[in-house]
A and B are shown apart, each in its own frame.
Chain A
Amino acid sequence: MDAPRPRSLDAAVVAFAARLRAEGLEPPAGHALVALRALEAVDVADREETRLALRAVFPSRPEELPIFDRAFDRFWAARPPRMPAVNEVPLPPDRRDPPVARTDGARAEPRVLAGLAPLAETLREWAEGEAAEDDDARLDTAALSDIEVVAEKDFSTFTPDELPAIRRLTRRLARRLAGRLGRRRVAGRRGAVDLRRTLRRNLGKGEVIELAYRRRAPRPPRLVVLCDVSGSMDLYSRFLVQFLHALAGAFAGLEVFTFSTRLTRVTPCLRARSFAQSLAALATVTDWSGGTRIGECIDRFVREWGRRHLGRRTVVIILSDGWDTGDPDLLAGALSAIRRRGSRLVWLNPLLGQPDYAPETRGMAAALPLVHAFLPAHNLASLARLERALRI
């Protein structure tokens, strides 16, 4: 610890950090320094100890651990455990070495998007661009005028060059919604006396004259989203899934299911940090672009998940255009069952954004009398207006 570090160790650690970055980890720039300090605190002659020390520094989520281990083995395998002579220059990361298969969308994605000719292209760009643009600092770079234009535009009419803007906006919107829903206390006219504000307000008056109140904001609701991913929803569902991914990242009380001909719980898939990873995970469980059996799927939800998720604090959101080949009575029965549990029922229909749309399909007609709110979900502005409908 006293002797100056061999310079080659510095260089090796910096090169290793670069290698990790190439393999998909995201160690921030300063972390090589932290790693060097960590190595000073362990026995670098002991490879396992070196590994464990760097393992505490570079990865920061469990999915990254296998990637780290592989990279470590490969990077340090070629080196003697004891650090080499002072003037040895570390090898640059081997370019011929194919990067380790990342768990994100790069591979699984084509399957997700197969058969969606023009849209697929734009969505692929979207998913791939995600990794590069994960930094929230860039949120503010979108010009205000862009935001307004993008927010009012129907999801089905987006062009590829508008995708980055919508991606940023979607994420920001979801965060804001989550923040609003999570708020705990608000100033009010009645309720408990807010001692903190009361005292502040009356300082200097000598005694307490004017009381400030606060009331408890309603506890945040639990949200259950049932998202239609059948063929007729293709133009919308992928945007909505993006929205749900961002919402899942910011709001704890969210459960998401997808349905087309079968019901799938996808909450765990949406927990992945990047949208590309989520999309890849979704591809393996969800049958995109199939037919629809809304009634059957919602009935299944009630029977299998109802006990756990339905209650008076729950808002059930159904995202669907209501095109159904199934039995409308089954749908009505399932929706009634949700209502009986005291949950609020919100139906979001992207088609409602079209001026000439009337909810006349059999499924929609059966559902309408049973839902508490029937709202459009065809653009960002409509998603932004959701908050009120979601408050219990």
Chain B
Amino acid sequence: MRPEIRKIRDAMEAAHYVTDAPVATAVHLAVTLGRPLLIEGHAGVGKTEVAKVLAAVQQTNLIRLQCYEGLDAAQALYEWNYPKQLLRIKLEEGDGRPVEAREATIFSEPFLLKRPLLQAIAQPGPPPVLLIDEIDRADEAFEAFLLEILSDFQVTIPEVGTIRAARPPHVVLTSNRTRELTDALRRRCLYLWIDFPALDKEVRIIRARLPGVNERLAVEIGRVMQRLRRERLAKLPGVAETLDWAAALAALHADHLDADLVTETLGCVLKDADDVRKVERLLATGGVAALVGTDGDGRP
């Protein structure tokens, strides 16, 4: 393994992010080649975390753009501070300055509200990590707009001029695949698919994040999660749910799982009433062994 990749892996592990070679390699390439990294995977597998850890590893700041339906350039890039502009116009009323001079004042940098994309481009010093989170929630039109930014890392504001990134930010995009992204965007990015972790990785994650959980409990939790993900559930639990659950169990001073405990804490794992009912039925018929399944594939 290349020392640079190992370094990234170690740094991620040091930041309590349990990683593996695919993640470390993809992150290393994204930084080295200066390409955006598109991360896809089920909800709660730690996509967003990659960006946070990358910022920590690069010792830089993280600028986050949370996408949603209807997000537009004014909210993502920049907006003029209209109330402030109006006030200034009011204040200057009657001082006889020519229109051009007034205009120059109110369309200057102090009146500019920098939104995440512009912040990332305009930041002096070391390049930040720009996290564009859940890009699949934004509309296709926004994706097209984003492409333009991602290809030149420069923004032209008619009144101010062109602002160019001294050094392009490290860009991480995440998607939950609620919508297909356009090919143009995919083409521009390196790609990383983060799957649900295998049992041993999940156990390592629990142990790394929650040192209070003992090995036995961690393995049992991991087994249950692996089992649940094979069920046909409306919403499959991710690693985020695993950690919530483990934390809840730790708070209850549990050191192993039993049926009552699982039933009481199921709400940490399953977020859908039908799913809960389904798993409760499983528990009722087979007890906790039905979920922990000692005969299972892949012990740690």
A→B interface (CB under 8 Å): 26, 28, 31, 34, 37-38, 41-43, 46, 48-49, 52-53, 55-57, 59-62, 65, 175, 178-179, 182, 184, 195-196, 198-199, 203-204, 206-208, 220, 249-250, 252, 271, 273, 308
- Of B30, B38, B80, B234, which is within 8 A of A60 by CB? B38
The CA-CA distance from A26 to B183 in the complex, in Å, is 10
* Beta-carbon contacts under 8 Å, B10-55 to A: 21-22, 25-26, 28-30, 32-33, 35, 37-38, 40
Is the Cβ of B25 less than 8 Å from the Cβ of A52? yes
| A14 CB, min distance to chain B CBs, angstroms | 17
Is the Cβ of B69 less than 8 Å from the Cβ of A49? no
- Contacting residues, chain A, for B32 (C-beta < 8 A): 41
Is the Cβ of A182 less than 8 Å from the Cβ of B70? yes
| B7 CB, min distance to chain A CBs, angstroms | 13
| A41 CB, min distance to chain B CBs, angstroms | 4
Is the Cβ of B186 less than 8 Å from the Cβ of A60? yes
Is the Cβ of B190 less than 8 Å from the Cβ of A56? yes
How many Cβ-Cβ contacts under 8 Å join chain A to chain B?
112
- Contacting residues, chain A, for B146 (C-beta < 8 A): none
Is the Cβ of B69 less than 8 Å from the Cβ of A220? yes
Interface residues on chain B, number (Cβ under 8 Å): 50
- Contacting residues, chain B, for A62 (C-beta < 8 A): 40, 193
| B129 CB, min distance to chain A CBs, angstroms | 17
A41-B33, A271-B180 known; A206 vs B25 contact (CB < 8 Å): no
- Contacting residues, chain A, for B183 (C-beta < 8 A): 26, 60
The CA-CA distance from A357 to B171 in the complex, in Å, is 57
| B278 CB, min distance to chain A CBs, angstroms | 13
Q: 12 additional contacts, CB 8 Å, given A196-B80, A206-B93, A252-B178?
A: A26-B183, A38-B190, A42-B2, A55-B22, A56-B26, A56-B29, A56-B191, A56-B192, A196-B82, A198-B82, A249-B179, A250-B179
- Of B4, B74, B103, B139, which is within 8 A of A196 by CB? B74
Q: B101 within 8 Å of A by Cβ?
A: no
- Of A31, A42, A204, A308, which is within 8 A of B5 by CB? A42
Is the Cβ of B25 less than 8 Å from the Cβ of A56? yes
Q: B198 within 8 Å of A by Cβ?
A: no
- Contacting residues, chain B, for A56 (C-beta < 8 A): 22, 25-26, 29-30, 37, 190-192
Is the Cβ of B25 less than 8 Å from the Cβ of A42? yes
23 A–B pairs (Cβ distance < 8 Å), ordered by A: A26-B183, A31-B187, A42-B25, A43-B1, A48-B21, A49-B21, A52-B25, A56-B22, A56-B26, A56-B190, A56-B191, A57-B190, A60-B189, A61-B40, A179-B139, A182-B69, A182-B70, A196-B74, A199-B80, A206-B99, A207-B89, A208-B89, A273-B180
A49-B2, A271-B180 known; A250 vs B29 contact (CB < 8 Å): no
Is the Cβ of B193 less than 8 Å from the Cβ of A252? no
Q: Which 10 A-B pairs have the closest CB atoms?
A: A195-B82, A184-B70, A60-B186, A52-B25, A41-B32, A56-B26, A56-B190, A62-B193, A43-B2, A60-B191
Of chain A, the residue at the smallest CB distance from B21 is: A52
- Contacting residues, chain B, for A59 (C-beta < 8 A): 191, 193
- Contacting residues, chain A, for B93 (C-beta < 8 A): 206-207
| A256 CB, min distance to chain B CBs, angstroms | 14
Q: B277 within 8 Å of A by Cβ?
A: no
A43-B1, A59-B191, A182-B70 known; A37 vs B99 contact (CB < 8 Å): no
Is the Cβ of A252 less than 8 Å from the Cβ of B191? no
The CA-CA distance from A57 to B79 in the complex, in Å, is 35
The CA-CA distance from A178 to B139 in the complex, in Å, is 10
| A272 CB, min distance to chain B CBs, angstroms | 9
- Contacting residues, chain B, for A249 (C-beta < 8 A): 179-180
